[in-house]
Amino acid sequence: MATTLYEKLWQSHIIEEKADETPLIFVDRHLIHEVTSPQAFANLKFHNRVLRHPERTIATMDHNISTRSIKIDAAGEGAANQLRTLEKNCKEFGIELFGMGHKNQGVVHVIGPELGLTLPGTVIVCGDSHTSTHGAFGALAFGIGTSEVEHVFATQTLRQTKAKTMRIEVKGQVAPGISAKDIILAIIGQTGSAGATGYVVEYCGEAIERLTMEERMTVCNMSVEFGAKAGLIAPDATTFNYLKGKDYAPKGEVWQQAVEDWQQLKSDSEATFDSYLTLEAKEIKTQVTWGTTPGQVTQVDSVVPSPEDFTDPVERESCIAALKYMGLTAGTKITDIAINKVFIGSCTNSRIEDLRAAAAVAKGKKVSATVAAIVVPGSYRVKEQAEAEGLAQTFIDAGFEWRLPGCSMCLGMNDDVLTHGDRCASTSNRNFEGRQGRGSRTHLVSPELAAASAIAGHFVDLTSINSQVQGA
C-alpha cells in the first residue's frame, strides 16, 4: 500500500498498537532545557525511577538565560535556580549538558541540527512546541508537556494518537527577495491559526525542494503556529550534504547505511493525504503580521485589514480585538506603521543564513534614531561564525546590539522584554498578546525585513525598492 512519509516514520517507531490503548512509539532523541524539565526530574526521583537512555538525551540552557553575560546569576534569581537545577539533574542522571560558556550551547532547535543530533527517520521530542523545526530533516519531531518529558525519561517512549496527514505543495519558484519566513507566513495566512490542528503536515513542491536546510527549518519551525502536530520535509541530497561530518552524525559505514535508508523516506507517489493545500510560489510576497496570532498576516505592500473583510464571525471578532490591542487602524498602509524595537533571533530565524541576510541589508546603513535593535545569534557556533565573517561588526557598525545566544526576546523570559506600547519587528514565531512583554505589539517578519525596518523606522517594501534600483 502506498504510504506517506509520516506513515513510514510512524510505522518504523511503533512499539505497540492495540485497539484499547493509545499507540506506544519509540523516541530516538530527547532534547531538554531548563524550563520544562525540573518537574519531570523531580517526579522521576520521587518514584525512584531510572532515566532509561541518558545517551539519547541532550540538555542545553536557552530559554531564560541572559544574553549579556554567560554568568548563570546574570539571569536573575528564579532563572538561576532553574539553570542550577538543570546542571544538578544532568550530573545526577548522566546527561550531556551544553551549559553557559560551552561551545555547543544555544537555542535547542538551533543546536540539534547544527551538531547533527537531528537525523532523518528519527522521532525527536522536546518540552517546547517549536520542536517541529527538526521536521525539516524528515524526522518526526514535536513538542511535549512536562508529564510527557517524564514519560520519555523513564521509558524512552511516548503514547501518541496517530495524526491525520496534510500535504502542502508550494509550486514553482518564489520571486527574488522572498524568504522562507514569507513562505510559511503565507501558508499560515491561508490556513488560519488552527488550520492544521490534528494533522502532521508535509511540505513539498519545487519552492520547498529548493530551500537550504536552514530555510527548511524556518518553514517547519512554524508548523505549530497553524496547529500542526509536526511539519515534515522529505530528506534529499541537501539534507545529507548538510549533515555529513557533523559532530554527532553517523560516520563511516554507518553513515553509508543511514543515507541508504534515508533515501527511502518520502511519500509514495500514489499515497493519499487527508487534506491538501497548494500555493503558487510566485504569488507569495513579503509578509508582515498585523494581529495577535500568526494567521493574522498580510503582504507588506498591503494595508491593515478591516473587520468587515472577514465573513467568519469569530475571525471578525478576533480582528476587532487584535486591532485594538495592536493600536492599528484598518486601512493603514503596512509601510506606514512605525516601529521602535527590532528583534533578530529565535529558533525561527537566528541561524547564520538569517544573519547574513539581515547583515546584507544593514551593511553601511544606520539603525533609525527612533529604534532600538538587537541581534541574538541562535547558538555559540553561529555567534562565532558571524563574528568570523564580519557580520557581527556590520550589525554593530549599523547600531544594532550584538548579543549572546539564547531564546531572548522571542518569549522574553529573561530581561530582553518589550515595555507597554512598544512596537517590534521581530523575526520570531509568535505575536500573541503580551508574548514579548505586557502590552507589547509584535509584528512577525523575515530577517531581511526586520533589518530594513530597523533602518527605516517603519516597515518597507524591499522588493519594490530593489526593483526601483534595478530599473534606475
Partner 1 sequence: MEKFNQHHGLVVPLDTANVDTDQIIPKQFLQKTTRTGFGQHLFHDRRYLDNDGHKNNPEFVLNKPEYQGASILLAGENFGCGSSREHAPWALQEYGFQVIIASSFADIFYANCINIGVLPVILPEDTIATLFQQSKDNLQHITVDLVASTVKTASAQYDFTIAPFHKYCLENGVDSVGWTLNKIAKIESYEAQMPAWQ
DSSP state of 311: -
Nearest 5°: the CA angle 159, 161, 162 is: 125
Strand order in the sheet with 441-444: 401-402, 372-375, 341-344, 423-426, 441-444
> Per DSSP, which regions of 290-368 are E strands?
297-299, 341-344
- Sequence-distant (6+) residues with CB within 8 A of 417 are 409, 436, 437, 440
The rounded distance, in Å, linking the Cα atoms of 71 and 439 is 29
Decide whether 49 or 366 has the Cβ nearer to partner 1: 49
Decide whether 243 or 339 has the Cβ nearer to partner 1: 243
Output the smallest distance, CB 225 to partner 1, in A. 8
Decide whether 48 or 269 has the Cβ nearer to partner 1: 48
Output the smallest distance, CB 21 to partner 1, in A. 5
Phi, psi of 445 (to 5 degrees): -145, 175
Decide whether 119 or 352 has the Cβ nearer to partner 1: 119
Output the smallest distance, CB 206 to partner 1, in A. 29
CB 302 within 8 Å of CB 335: no
Output the smallest distance, CB 255 to partner 1, in A. 7
Output the smallest distance, CB 432 to partner 1, in A. 5
Decide whether 283 or 317 has the Cβ nearer to partner 1: 317
Sign of the CA dihedral with 205 first, then 209, 210, and 216 last: positive
Decide whether 394 or 426 has the Cβ nearer to partner 1: 426
Output the smallest distance, CB 345 to partner 1, in A. 16
**375 closest CA partner among 389, 352, 365:** 352
Residue 423 in grid coordinates:
512596537
Output the smallest distance, CB 353 to partner 1, in A. 26
Decide whether 149 or 362 has the Cβ nearer to partner 1: 149
Output the smallest distance, CB 73 to partner 1, in A. 14
**59 closest CA partner among 10, 19, 108:** 108
Strand order in the sheet with 24-26: 14-16, 24-26, 157-159
Residue 432: how many CB atoms within 10 A of its CB? 14
Helix/strand/coil for 341: strand
Output the smallest distance, CB 193 to partner 1, in A. 6
Output the smallest distance, CB 80 to partner 1, in A. 9
Decide whether 76 or 172 has the Cβ nearer to partner 1: 76
CA dihedral 122, 127, 129, 131 (to 10 degrees): -30
> Per DSSP, which regions of 134-235 are E strands?
140-143, 157-159, 164-171, 199-204, 230-232
Buried b vs exposed e over 402-419: b needs ≥16 C-beta within 10 Å? Answer: bbbbbbbbbbbbbebbbe
Q: Which residue's C-alpha cell is 549579556?
A: 68
Output the smallest distance, CB 277 to partner 1, in A. 18
Decide whether 3 or 248 has the Cβ nearer to partner 1: 248
Decide whether 24 or 175 has the Cβ nearer to partner 1: 24
Decide whether 158 or 211 has the Cβ nearer to partner 1: 158
Q: Concatenate the DSSP letters of all residues of 154-175 into one string.
A: HHSEEE-PPPEEEEEEEES-PP
The rounded distance, in Å, linking the Cα atoms of 424 and 245 is 38
